[in-house]
Amino acid sequence: MSPRDISHEPAAIVGPRLPPLWLLTMLTGAGPFTMQVMLPALPLLAQHFAVPYATAQLSFTVYLIGISVGQLIYGPLSDRFGRRPLLLCGLVVYLLGSIAATLAPSLGLLVVARAAQAAGACAGMVMTRAMIRDVFPANQAASKIGFVMMGMTVAPMMAPLVGAELQALAGWRASMLACAAVGLVLPLLALRYLSETLREPQPLPGLLGILRAYLRLFASPVFCCYTAVTAFSSGVFFAFMAGAPRVLVEGLGHTPRAYALAFMATSLSFALGSFLAGRLSGRLGVQRMLQAGLILTTAGALLSLVTLLLLPLSLVMFFLPMLLMGVGNGISQPNSLAAAISVQPKLAGTASGVVGASQMAVGALMTVAAGVLEAGTGFGTALVMTACALASQLGLASARRLGPRGA
């Protein structure tokens, strides 16, 4: 099957019943919430441990690496053993990592604990996408993923504000304690409400079988192109998240709370884009929606660069182009994900893991790039965002050029 054909799949629901969307939303949101709850504290974390900002930012970068590696493991194993058991194992790892992060006496141990948090939290991100694709054809899957992304936007939207307020009340450890509380609740809800959606387990015997599954996916240039589209379009967002705290706290002199409140506006724009994806993807098709989303994302990144060149740096003008980028990402992400994992529907779990890992790997690289280039003026962040947006456009153009031959 080719991504060119996905808009022609039947729109009927097939297979087992989908677990409650509210639960899938919570499971998907745990990872982004945990990732972003520490962002407002990065400048102060550097002061607390007496390290440079780029070193403190490792607690964010390593988290992304942990999510990247974890998804490569969960995806293929879930195709063999089912979505539910792998999810429960991941949630246990997340809980243990959150407890370790709360008690970490040094930045090094905090970074290690954050990696464990990520390795556990990413199970929810992988399993949610795979469960939706187990039950729905591609266009409908994009719509459902869009609704889940819209709903779970509340978690990362509130995370910086929650982190800033907890930090003001009881220090940065309080935010990690909040993550531990989330890690206690989610397994109980999963045990109560989660049902298995995998209809046909795929034989993946040992490491060799996992490698074969990866090779089947990477043998498709179209899959690789859609994976690149997903990774680099989200890289725009990761670069912004890495650079914005320094711009606002060090460059403009605002408090972490001010950053958190401004970031909420960006998250709301992402929620709007996800809502549009949920409402329109089934009607207009994956390709049209994906193109529209990337156009908006690229326009937002370019506008950010131009604004910084022509106008004085300010909180409003720094965040305003991000609203356009947020809408574009909200539209493009569910559609690029649906396109990628529909290239090999029987390996939806493995494909979901590969795409998610690629997202986080590119995101980690972009956080490092933004950390190195950003000096508090916003230019370094804008440059990285623009490069990612243009790379995603190149990926989509390549996928369309390859067409059915690469499927």
Domain 21-201 identical in fold to domain 216-402: yes
Q: What is the pLDDT of residue 405?
A: 41
Contact criterion met (CB below 8 Å) for 257 and 165: yes
pLDDT class for 393, splitting at 50, 70, 90?
Answer: very high
Tens-place pLDDT, residues 76-117: 777 777 788 888 999 999 999 999 998 988 888 999 999 999
Residues 6+ apart with CB under 8 A from 245: 39, 40, 42, 43, 256, 259
The pTM of the full predicted model, rounded to 2 decimals, is: 0.68
Domains in the chain: boundaries: 21-201, 216-402
Tens-place pLDDT, residues 139-165: 666 666 666 765 566 676 778 778 888
**CATH number 1.20.1250.20 given to 21-201:** yes
Q: What is the pLDDT of residue 93?
A: 93
DSSP per-residue string spanning 280-323: HHHHH-HHHHHHHHHHHHHHHHHHHHHHHHHS---HHHHHHHHH
Contact criterion met (CB below 8 Å) for 33 and 47: no
pLDDT class for 24, splitting at 50, 70, 90?
Answer: confident
Its CATH class, for the domain covering 216-402, is: mainly alpha
